[in-house]
Amino acid sequence: MRKLPVFASLGEVLSGVARHYFQLLGAAWPAVLVLLAAVGMIAWLYYSVGYFAALTADEGKPDLAALEAAAIALTTDSNRWAAYGAQFLVVASAVAAVRWHRLVLLGEGANGEGGVVPLRKEDGIYLFALLKILLLCIGGVLLFALATFATSMTGSKALNVVIALLLVFLYFLAFGLLMRLMLALPDASVGAGGRVFAIFRASEGNTWRLLGLVLLLGFVTSIVIAVAFMAVGALANAAGVASLSSSPVFIAASIVVGLAIYLYFVMAQVTVLSVAYREIIGMPGDSPQAA
């Protein structure tokens, strides 16, 4: 049983994505453009209904009435269909992960070698594996909802507290189990088949390690996001801008910073799976046979 080195893997992911940031973008630039288009559509929807302006409309504070009006405007037919279109583009852009997994695990696309393949058979295998994981997640959510409902029906307060704590534990356990299922995605990307159940069995003993790695990555990323936007806000204050929403320049700067961090976070999430797959499962030739 191979154990995931959590802190070493975290360091490798953070430093690797930072050093190869533009190389990773270049390896999957068509899908990245689709993803940016989707993010741009969503940002424009929120901007057009006045959501961003409402965040600082009350003397730099959120205007709750304006935010509620913006939320209602987002539910109109035209805006709803535009949001559906953006969500479809986000799903379609998921195949960028195939290129990132292949670059990290196989070195494909490193230094521009091999060029960019717009479509490949692994894209379909990846999406099919993702669908299987999604269906398993839906089943898990339904079971969790039933357990939560059953908890609410008990009459004892002490028993409710115990069951609630147990449900919290099960929630984190389920998240760790999900990460083990997600290791089928790099498996699909490198042409090993995306064997969801075989990979799940082969990653036994790493549930909490995977959960810890993902939580640590999220913690570090949250700090980076907070520091970056504090820096943008400090620059705006130094320039005499009352609020970011009143300055097109700082709106654009916030969007650029936000997209750069968002792409870093997305690539880091993918790289986490690549590194975990390599450390726990091994490279394609060493992977377990599908059941």
Which of 268, 180, 178, 174 has the alpha carbon at shortest distance from 217?
268
Instruction: Provide the pLDDT for residue 228.
Output: 81
Separation CA 279–CA 202 (nearest Å):
12
**CB < 8 Å & 24+ apart, contacts of 217-222:** 217/10, 217/13, 217/14, 217/268, 217/269, 217/272, 220/10, 220/14, 221/261, 221/264, 221/265, 221/268
**Other Cβ atoms within 10 Å of 150 Cβ, number:** 10
pLDDT string in tens for the chain (291-residue length): 689 999 999 999 999 999 999 988 888 888 888 888 888 888 888 888 888 778 777 766 788 888 889 889 888 888 889 888 988 888 778 888 999 999 999 888 766 555 566 778 899 999 999 999 999 999 988 887 887 777 666 666 777 777 778 888 988 999 999 999 999 999 999 989 999 999 999 999 999 999 999 999 999 988 988 888 788 777 777 766 655 555 666 677 777 787 888 889 889 999 999 999 999 998 766 644 443
* pLDDT at residue 167, as a whole number: 82
Give alpha helix (H) positions in 93-120: 96-106
Nearest to 173 by CA among 142, 210, 134, 129: 210
CA dist 171 and 150 (Å) reads: 16
Residue 61's DSSP bridge partners are: 58
Q: What angle do CA 285, 23, 27 make, to 5 degrees?
A: 60
Minimal CA–CA distance to 196: which of 141, 142, 135?
135
Angle at 19 between CA 14 and CA 21, to 5 degrees: 90
Element (H, E) at 209: helix 207-238
Report residue 94: phi and psi, to 5°.
-60, -20
Q: Which helix (H) or strand (E) holds 53?
A: helix 51-54
Task: State the pLDDT at residue 247.
Answer: 61
Instruction: Give pLDDT, residue 291.
Output: 36
State how far Cα 232 lies from the chain centre.
24
Predicted local distance difference test score (pLDDT) of residue 6:
95
